[in-house]
Amino acid sequence: MKLELDPSADLGLPAEDRGTTRSAVPARIVVRGVNWLGDAVMSTPALLRLREAYPQARITLLTAAKLAELFRGHPAFDEITTFTPVDRVWSIARRLRHARFDLGLILPNSPRSAIELWLGRVQRRIGLAAPLRNLFLTDAVPALPEFTPMVKLSARDIRACVASPSRQGRFVPPARAHHVHHYLHLAAAAGASAKPLAPFLPVTEAELDATRARFGLDDRRWFGLNPGAEYGPAKRWPADRFAAVAVAAQQRWRCRWVILGGTGDVAVADEIAGQIVRGNRETSGHAPPADPLVLAGRTSLRELCAILKLCQVVLTNDTGPMHLAAAVGTPVVVPFGSTSPELTGPGLPGDSRHACLRVEVPCAPCFRRTCPIDFRCMLGIDATAILENLARIVETDR
């Protein structure tokens, strides 16, 4: 980001930058939210802890417009204000100035997010310490000692890992490296508790009823299937394996699958649905199970939350809907490839309701969007292993 500062402009330095003291108990708090769906869900424990610490404060979430729906009715906030990709730093800052916030919690690591609150005259500005943004923070918070950056391996590094006989097994980050702990650590700098809490998104009965009515979701046993991953193909388990698991699950539990995703996932959702239909007809004779319901690209964010809550279990890649499902209370089964469940796994780290599957390969996690070699991290996870973990969840939940 290139920021051009007008030397003649009134930069509106916050009060404490002019030598005055801070308010002991903030009355008006703004939280600068993160910009990605999964990160937004993982930040909810920190937001709830902030509300717990300041129950009388008016807390405002400043978030990307695409994520505003996610937080509708969330108990951590009194109001939500949004921005779009075309909004400039100055326009966001003007809105913040008008609100006269005492305290700002900045969750993203970008310089721009700190500059927005600095120009917005937020008196106290708390965020992760970094050379390019410490100037704009009043409280530059050092990272947790366990903080583990997600560094992409180069294609050369990956080939070296695979070729080296001394490289045994995958890198395992420490227990408190998960992003949930990172956001709680920032909230603790604002006076909140850092005690772990599961990500949480409320879904009302009215939303569930409306979603059932709109999409014809009856009272049968629904399983969710989310085969996409916006980040890239390195996070996507093969479509034919999703279909194979779905067919076997329908034979075993007489469930019905609802296939979910965004507009970019419609093609793969249709492909998997077709494979499921063919597989059911080949294995079930004259009475095959019901065809899958394909809703990829057809739901709003709140409707997606409601559908995930109505499912008994969700089979998904490591992507935003995985975090949504866990946050509304639905267990997930997830094949992990290029990413790390220790850093971005579903729900509260260590929650045994969820199943995160991976194989031990020396090049994982590489955090790449595409695999430069043979995709061994994902191809090593077979349908049988996924089905066994589905069984553990489904048959325990009866």
Assigned domain for 152 exists: no
Assigned domain for 5 exists: no
Assigned domain for 147 exists: no
**Does one domain contain both 252 and 329?**
yes
Task: Give me the pLDDT at residue 24, please.
Answer: 74
Q: Give whole-number Cα distances, 61 to 43, 71, 189, 316, 319, in Å.
A: 12, 9, 18, 28, 23
For residue range 31-70, list pLDDT tens digits in order: 999 999 999 999 999 999 999 999 999 999 999 999 999 9
Assigned domain for 93 exists: yes
What average pLDDT does range 285-300 have in this prediction?
A: 89
**Does one domain contain both 369 and 259?**
yes
**Does one domain contain both 328 and 179?**
no
Q: Which domain holds residue 76?
A: 15-142+175-189
CA 112 to chain centre: 21
DSSP 337: S
Show the CA angle centred on residue 397, arms to residues 391 and 398, nearest 5°. Answer: 95
**Does one domain contain both 386 and 299?**
yes
What is d(CA 62, CA 148) in angstroms, rounded to the nearest whole number? 26
CATH at residue 129 = 3.40.50.2000
**Does one domain contain both 184 and 233?**
no
Contact by Cβ (8 Å): 140, 129: yes
What average pLDDT does range 177-201 have in this prediction?
A: 97
What is d(CA 364, CA 85) in angstroms, rounded to the nearest whole number? 33
Assigned domain for 150 exists: no
**Does one domain contain both 54 and 120?**
yes
Burial group, residue 158, by CB count within 10 angstroms (0-12, 13-18, 19+): buried
Cα torsion angle, 334, 40, 176, 394, sign: negative
**Does one domain contain both 27 and 126?**
yes
What is d(CA 243, CA 357) in angstroms, rounded to the nearest whole number? 17
Task: Give me the pLDDT at residue 167, please.
Answer: 59
Res. 74 pLDDT band, cuts 50 70 90: very high
For residue range 313-361, list pLDDT tens digits in order: 999 999 999 999 999 999 999 999 999 999 999 999 989 999 999 998 8
Identify the domain boundary among 189, 219, 244.
189
What is d(CA 263, CA 295) in angstroms, rounded to the nearest whole number? 10
Copy the structure tokens of residue 342. 């220790």
Assigned domain for 136 exists: yes
**Does one domain contain both 261 and 124?**
no
For residue range 266-284, list pLDDT tens digits in order: 999 999 999 999 999 888 7
Q: Mean of the per-residue pLDDT values for the chain? A: 90
**Does one domain contain both 332 and 236?**
yes
The total number of structural domains that make up the chain: 2
**Does one domain contain both 37 and 132?**
yes
Assigned domain for 124 exists: yes
- Whether the pLDDT of residue 3 is over 70: the answer is no
Task: Give me the pLDDT at residue 4, please.
Answer: 35
**Does one domain contain both 223 and 251?**
yes
Task: Give me the pLDDT at residue 287, please.
Answer: 73
Identify the domain boundary among 189, 215, 250.
189
pTM listed for this prediction: 0.90
Res. 304 pLDDT band, cuts 50 70 90: very high
Task: Give me the pLDDT at residue 21, please.
Answer: 38
